[in-house]
Structure 1
């Protein structure tokens, strides 16, 4: 029997579209998971929160019931430690209406009211705000006003309220984090995507620490630098969840970080973690940086996390008294000794 510490989170995001890949809620390692962030619900311009895919969320036959949300409701009865949180927003369309909604008291109120209706209808434990992201100080102010409105309808401690936030200071500086955390149980710090097709050189996309001699500005970013920035704003470490990607970023034609790659600017090159290392590739781990990669096969140089780096990151979370970790996504995890969720659980809960 797995024993959960009430003070350490081992969370995963579950994207509703994964049901179309034959990955139902029951496929997650729920005995090792404390929080599932069910993504995504969306918000209309008038503030109404609604399900982004009603077929997947409430109608499809899955796990002996109708819809993934009902499945999670039933699974919670079997896993008493589990909290299921409805994540609202996401990239692109999912975040398009947040700025307008948060700027208006009436739409903030409708957001909070309709979010609570969904939480109660499906027996959920709370909501996660994944607004990507407030782009100036005014939006940052309105973001906090939205959190305050939500807390009126979803009071602590009965309901969970979390928020996924970027790891870069360029985004975080728009938010008064000291004020924001008063309303939040956790800040899900997205400590990944430091490097990718938007930069001209290969680089680790989720390193725990920066190298001594960074080859570009992206290489200066790290999970540690993000955590340090957030805690410098008087956010308690216990409210920070360290984000870990269950996917790798590929840089074709490269063998090391800091090299120009053959992909086109803006071209996504990703592999799910469970498909790594690539066939014919060799996997490496840098325990000083807290980063892994593989070279060879069809991916070129691929940056990702493996069980060794996840244990390092989970150890960092423990040593720095963070709230725990989360994964984007739980559905991309490996099996057996290659499981990232298992690796983090074992490190987080080892005495």
Structure 2
């Protein structure tokens, strides 16, 4: 009996230790292929987020029209890569049984259906049912990540402006309904826990529109999109993913984002800090920060694995924001250097946060993921 008790206590201690291990997560963009999953070594990540599941029905993208033909309103749009990735994730779990895999729903271009389905109890119920059915059919996944960009204002991402002052309440209700649905699926599955997370814009402007303190009660984790603070949509060139804001009045940094969420009542233990596996570039940059155009492409994005190939540019560290950039020839490319990532890991640990995650794994050469290790 004594041996059984000791064994039970050891098991409980082991479980508690596993629960407190810092999170190292990464999104995986389906369009970039399954090779990043197949090549991932055990123990490198705790969480993987497959992006994206898209939604049929009102607000669906034009690209999903054919796949959604004849499908129920607010169901998950079917695509072959979902089954391909589900099988790859199951193989990964054979190599790495502790890894958690979440299906991320929405994204910048795929969020419009949320504005419609979340607005009614019937719409929410329908979406929850189809989401649970999808998870039941794809056992390689351990839960859902809701990437609604953004309650209150979609930025006319598909040319149609959506958003109302009621979206914040609908957001909370949707998460409550999803939590109940996932818990029911867990009971059906013999006590398995299905995670529910969100990816959110952490600015004060956005948080006014969504009561994150209440929302967090339904969530396992909050993935903080602490990147894209600068880009073609901003007037000035700047590092898009700094640890600290350039001015105290700005909330364009991880440090400010943490303060924003904490003020809203989100527990630090549920916050996951965002890391970028890509840079944002600008051309024709003037001393005042204004610039002529994004560079080297329309959205100014540069994969981290390509940063060293930028010719005529040198790495520059900005002490004020604790961030790195490649600078030269009138160009500026802000990015997360491994040293900046290690500083973010240290910040997250000091603040009692859950850990760090990155967008997006195929853009890394292994250095950023290495720097994310606790």
Query: TM (normalized to structure 2)?
Result: 0.80
Alpha-carbon distance between aligned partners in 1 of 2:126 and 2:176, rounded to the nearest angstrom = 13
Q: 1:103: which partner in 2?
A: 119
CA RMSD of aligned residues (A): 2.2
The within-5 A match list for 1:167-316 is 167-212=202-247, 220-254=251-285, 258-263=288-293, 267-277=298-308, 278-286=310-318, 288-296=320-328, 300-316=331-347
Q: 1:144: which partner in 2?
A: 172
Alpha-carbon distance between aligned partners in 2 of 1:186 and 1:56, rounded to the nearest angstrom = 26
Q: CA deviation at 1:204?
A: 1.4
Question: Which region of structure 1 is more displaced relative to structure 2, 282-291 or 192-201?
Answer: 282-291
> Does structure 1 conserve the Cα–Cα contact (< 8 Å) formed by 2:204 and 2:251?
no
Gaps of 5+ in 1: 59-66
Alpha-carbon distance between aligned partners in 2 of 1:304 and 1:294, rounded to the nearest angstrom = 8
Q: 1:56: which partner in 2?
A: 81
Q: CA deviation at 1:325?
A: 0.8
Q: 2:372: which partner in 1?
A: 344
Deviations 1:14-69 (A, max 9, x none): 111011xx734213355310000101001223321234xx13222xxxxxxxx122
Alpha-carbon distance between aligned partners in 2 of 1:287 and 1:340, rounded to the nearest angstrom = 20
Q: CA deviation at 1:267?
A: 3.7
Deviations 1:281-323 (A, max 9, x none): 21123355231111237x9210000100000000000000101
1:68 aligned residue (85, 88, 95): 85
> Does structure 1 conserve the Cα–Cα contact (< 8 Å) formed by 2:36 and 2:361?
no
Gaps of 5+ in 2: 1-16, 58-72, 153-163, 187-191
- The 3-state SS of whatever aligns with 1:167 is coil
Query: TM (normalized to structure 1)?
Result: 0.86
Alpha-carbon distance between aligned partners in 2 of 1:264 and 1:280, rounded to the nearest angstrom = 17
1:323 partnered with 2:354: yes
Alpha-carbon distance between aligned partners in 1 of 2:286 and 2:291, rounded to the nearest angstrom = 10
Alpha-carbon distance between aligned partners in 1 of 2:241 and 2:36, rounded to the nearest angstrom = 27
Count residues with an aligned counterpart: 321
Q: CA deviation at 1:240?
A: 0.5
> Does structure 2 conserve the Cα–Cα contact (< 8 Å) formed by 1:137 and 1:175?
no
Moved over 6 A (4+): none
Question: Which region of structure 1 is more displaced relative to structure 2, 99-108 or 203-212?
Answer: 203-212
> Does structure 1 conserve the Cα–Cα contact (< 8 Å) formed by 2:251 and 2:257?
no
Q: 1:165: which partner in 2?
A: 200
> Does structure 1 conserve the Cα–Cα contact (< 8 Å) formed by 2:203 and 2:260?
no
- The 3-state SS of whatever aligns with 1:50 is coil
Alpha-carbon distance between aligned partners in 2 of 1:188 and 1:264, rounded to the nearest angstrom = 27
1:16 partnered with 2:30: yes
Question: Which region of structure 1 is more displaced relative to structure 2, 280-289 or 94-103?
Answer: 280-289
> Does structure 1 conserve the Cα–Cα contact (< 8 Å) formed by 2:203 and 2:251?
no
1:36 aligned residue (38, 48, 53): 48
> Does structure 2 conserve the Cα–Cα contact (< 8 Å) formed by 1:290 and 1:313?
no
- The 3-state SS of whatever aligns with 1:195 is coil
Q: CA deviation at 1:107?
A: 1.8
